[in-house]
Amino acid sequence: MLTVLLVTFPFFALVLAGFVAAHRRMLPLEAIPGLNGFVLYFALPAMLYRFGSTTPIAQLLDASVAGVYVVCALVMVAFAIAMTRNARIRWNDASLGALVAAFPNTGFMGVPLLAALLGPTSVGPVIVLIMVDMIITSSLCVALSRLDEGEGHGGQAMIDAGKKALRGVAANPMPWAILLGAAASAVEFTLPKPVEQTVWLLADAASPVALFTIGAVLARSQLQANHPMPLSDYVPVALMKLVLHPLLMLGVGTAAIQLGVPLEPFALSVMVLIAALPSASNVSLLAERLGADNGRIARIILVTTAAAFLTFSGAVALLI
């Protein structure tokens, strides 16, 4: 366990550094969108392209990994909404809460962390899971969040929201970087050396800047979410993310293997560790844009990120 903590500590320490910097205003809150923009539009796409282009195409097209992960994501979304929706927490808040229960911080944290822990062979399953969460999980939850809108027109609002979510996915550079990397892998294409070195430099910057940015985003959310809230509004969802999600992934994946699904045990271990990650920090921005209770979402993300230092490290110690 100590060996695992020594590996995971620098990653969570960078998150803490970003949190302290923003909380103490050493990093102006106005600068955080700029950090987010650098990570989202430059560093992470470069990292994902590098991993995609250097990973065998068969690993990037693993239907078994995608299928098991989709099943677990749908179960988590349905369960979280069923357990949290009430007279006060309506579809909008319940759906965004379900998204943080089912959507791990794979892009900002999972890619560099799993690569450090398990090596480059873990990248194939991780990229598949990123695509599933961006295209299916997030689009579904955004569509469900619109069911509160209108009298008797919730269904149409859900369809419109689903289309808007898919347009958002199409405008996101991360899936395009993955697809371009996969295409490069399939045809064994390599970039010209000066271009490749530029992309690789950006990719090397992705991990530290992304982790620092997570902490800064969490600090900003906490500073802006200053209204009191009962623990029952956010702690159960945090427990779903850190405990139920990885256990569900392990159970469904093990059952799939026993039923003859060609899912590699190593890929299942990667999937369980991804599920054990804290909630995706960018859901806070999405909640703010959709008019959900961003204070609740921010608290869930903050609790899962803080607790994951121990829970995620424990999952690594058990699986590796």
Q: State the residue for tokens 């090397």.
A: 204
CATH of residue 106: 1.20.1530.20
* pLDDT on residue 151: 43
* pLDDT on residue 271: 96
Task: Tell whether 214 is covered by a domain.
Answer: yes
* pLDDT on residue 247: 97
Task: Tell whether 149 is covered by a domain.
Answer: yes
Enumerate long-range contacts of 194-201, CB under 8 Å, 24 or more apart: 199/46, 199/49, 199/50, 200/46, 200/50
- Tens of pLDDT, residues 246-298: 999 999 999 999 999 999 999 999 999 999 999 998 888 788 788 888 889 98
Task: Tell whether 94 is covered by a domain.
Answer: yes
* pLDDT on residue 157: 63
* pLDDT on residue 150: 53
Task: Tell whether 95 is covered by a domain.
Answer: yes
* pLDDT on residue 152: 45
Task: Tell whether 228 is covered by a domain.
Answer: no
Number of domains within the chain: 1
For residue 89, the one-letter residue type is: I
Neighbours of 76 (CB within 10 A): 23
- Domain of 178 in residue numbering reads as 2-223+233-319
- Angle among Cα 105, 313, 320 to the nearest 5 degrees reads 105
* pLDDT on residue 146: 81
pLDDT, averaged per 10 consecutive residues of the chain (320 residues), comes to 81 93 93 89 90 84 94 97 92 94 91 85 89 90 80 59 71 86 91 94 90 89 74 93 97 96 95 96 82 88 92 90
Task: Tell whether 26 is covered by a domain.
Answer: yes
Task: Tell whether 192 is covered by a domain.
Answer: yes
Task: Tell whether 126 is covered by a domain.
Answer: yes
